[in-house]
Structure 1
Amino acid sequence: MTEPDYYGAEPKQPPRTWDFLLTSALIVFMLVLVVVFAVSSLGFGFLNQECASAATACSPDRVALGQQICTYAPGAIALVAIVWSLIRVFRRRIAFWLAGLGAILMVCAFLGGKLLMDSGLPA
């Protein structure tokens, strides 16, 4: 057990190298996912153009909303997860789980937006 310092505050814990390295790797993985999802969502614009044709029976609002979710949600989730993870790393708290959770939520948001787009297109 460690003794408190002069002012009564608990001393800081030593840095956890494994947590820092794992968090850094997951942050880099999230940034790669953001780029992959952004490039993938650019191709979804062709689905919007297909839906604009009067010959198809689809829901253009649903397709547009799904495309916006695929485009913007992974980036927003990554931004929040990266900032929150870095704050926890600097405060010497366990932070790898936040970066991992952020990556999982990014994939779920992208797939949810893709499912929403697919539900708006005719079968």
Structure 2
Amino acid sequence: MSSLPEEQNDQPNQPAPPAQTAPPAQAAPAAKGSDDNLMAALSYIFLLSVVMLLVKKDSDYVQFHAKQGTVLFIGEVILGVVGSFTWFLFVLWDLVWVLFVIVSIIGFYRAYRGERYRLPVVADLADKIKI
């Protein structure tokens, strides 16, 4: 004899009910460094690089990109001033400005993606900035 009550012996073997599925997962919160990624990216927009250097001293990542953005900004200002007095640079100013914009876009994109990308020439000069 079985130890099960009689009413359970009369029932045929039934498959177990399907397990309940978990509700769909909520969107994952933004990564911890996403604010830093945004601030690092904004460092490539003209004078914001200097602001980020002064405001985000606690983030090495933001400082890295802010220094590169500052070098780009200073380079653009110097070439703009010199170009206003020199006919040769004045003629090339549009081309140089486009080059600065392209390099800034590359830096912005890489910083926002969380990459510590070293811009050629710019990074070497940025390494010399001590804050």
Q: TM-score with structure 1 length normalisation? A: 0.39
Q: TM-score with structure 2 length normalisation? A: 0.37
Q: Which has the higher contact order (CA 8 A, sep 6+)?
A: 1
Q: Which structure is higher in helix share?
A: 1
Point out the structure with max Rg over C-alpha: 2
